[in-house]
Amino acid sequence: MILKKLLEGLNYKATVGNSEIVADVEKIEIKDVVNDNRKISEGSLFLCIKGANFDGHSCSVDAAEKNAAAIVVQDDVELPENCEMTVIRVDDTRYAMAFISAAYFDHPASKLKTVGITGTKGKTTTTYLIKSMLENAGHKVGLIGTVEVIIGDEHIHSENTTPESYTLQEYMKRMVDAGCDTVVMEVSSQGLMLHRTQGFIFDIGIFTNIEPDHIGPNEHKDFDDYMHCKGLLFKQCRIGIVNGDDKHVDDILEGHTCDVERFGMKEGVDIRALNLAYIHKPGQLGVFFDTEGLINVHAEVLTPGKFSVYNALCAIAVARHFGCNEDEIQRALKAAKVKGRIEMVKVSDDFTLMIDYAHNAMALKSLLSTLKDYHPNRLICLFGCGGNRSKLRRFEMGEVSGKVADFTIITSDNPRFEEPLDIMNDIETGIKKTDGKYIMIEDRKEAIAYAIDNGEQGDIIVLAGKGHEDYQEIKGVKYHMDERELIQEILDERKVRQNNN
């Protein structure tokens, strides 16, 4: 590909090496685009990206020695004397990478309907709901998110909620090649801040909700910065669909350039949920509701609580733009399942057991409070906290579970380089601030077995923290551990014991 074609839409200065001689970008052929110095080869375009731990600008000499055709930089770089490699200077190499990657993969987003979802909670569940609805209506939908990337029948483990722009564009190109007509993706504040979704305009941008999160070193300096980054999506989409009940929605929309639709449960929104009723059957929790406004449907969602209503409202609002009918929407809402997000696991007709990713105090409080609305006999919460992370999270989660749950089972969760019992003792410190009853069982399988063996009629049992994760990280090694498999092992072992008695 000709270099000039890759640079369309960017402001740049092209020189021969570090001289003032202008390079002729119309005559330079690019064989490959890379941002990993290990992949530099003759004729490639190397993007010098500044990361938290590594700066690609330090590889400029390496690029020249490997006969790269050109490099893209935002800072001055060292080059060999009389270097004739083309140097493209831009203000921000991450921003440039997004546009270059889009051009390199032939602008795949222009061949797809693109739906981007941002917010503190609900992104993952809502992507699956939307995917389910659109597929029920005959669309072929790719998905990019926290849990996985789905391209046709291929499921790829995710490293980041929103991949780097090069990888994102590559995924979309593969979706086009696989016959997809739509992509639904989670758009993190980090992804927006680092320009990962530049290079195209979303057809639909979605805002679920916002609460203080991801604030600290290498993330966001404060809540205002977090909100600002979330709001960038609404300067990069054609239609914005937002939670009109969120108190920060107007801050998120500040300076927006899109048409806006609002959903919620309060008056004044474009699509409103009303007539809510809870579903509580053995092994199943959910909610009924009706909508009024831009679309009128009767909905049944097989996950609990008001946040499930908000997620479903959002998906319904999107489905309207794809022409989905009421039957397609209803079937999709019932069928959609998300691994590790209020994932029901049937183990007994007496009580309800679920797996959820809630791994901080805010998420745990939201989940447990929602489940309390279903008036269980007892609400049992099993969780641990990750090692080499803030101790404050442990104290807070312990206190939340102690206050809201009827019984807590403290166990291990990714201890990393800490001793599991030290982490569990920190959680205990938090729970001791309350009157909550608890037990400590270090081995997670033993802890889950205890919860199942002691489940009572009408209990709701939550296994919190792991969610979609299928590993336990100990001393730098990730060991396979899937809670679904642990549950099945426990049930199988119970059957063997019963048959032997």
Domains detected in the chain? 3-104 (3.40.1390.10), 108-335 (3.40.1190.10), 343-500 (3.90.190.20)
State what percent of residues in the chain have pLDDT above 90. 86
Q: What is the pLDDT of residues 120-157, one digit of tens each?
A: 888 999 999 999 999 989 999 999 998 899 999 999 99
pLDDT higher than threshold 60 for residue 465: yes
Tell me, what's the pLDDT at 220?
A: 57
pLDDT higher than threshold 60 for residue 214: no
State what percent of residues in the chain have pLDDT above 70. 98
Q: What is the helix (H) or strand (E) element at residue 287, kind and residue range?
A: strand 284-293
What is d(CA 28, CA 1) in angstroms, rounded to the nearest whole number?
8
Q: What is the pLDDT of residues 304-357, one digit of tens each?
A: 999 999 999 999 999 999 999 999 999 989 888 888 989 999 999 999 999 999
Radius of gyration of the chain from Cα atoms?
25
Among 366, 363, 463, CA closest to 411: 463
Token pair, residue 344, equals 């029901």
pLDDT higher than threshold 70 for residue 158: yes
Q: What is the helix (H) or strand (E) element at residue 166, kind and residue range?
A: helix 165-177
For range 79-90, the mean pLDDT: 95
pLDDT higher than threshold 90 for residue 171: yes
Q: What is the 3-state secondary structure (H, E, C) of 371-403?
A: HHCCCCCCEEEEECCCCCCCHHHHHHHHHHHHH
Q: What is the pLDDT of residues 486-495, one digit of tens each?
A: 999 999 999 9
For range 460-489, the mean pLDDT: 95
pLDDT higher than threshold 80 for residue 215: no
For range 238-263, the mean pLDDT: 97
Q: Which DSSP category does 478 fall into?
A: E
Strand partners, 287: 278, 301
Cβ pair 285, 277 in contact under 8 A: no
Tell me, what's the pLDDT at 210?
A: 86
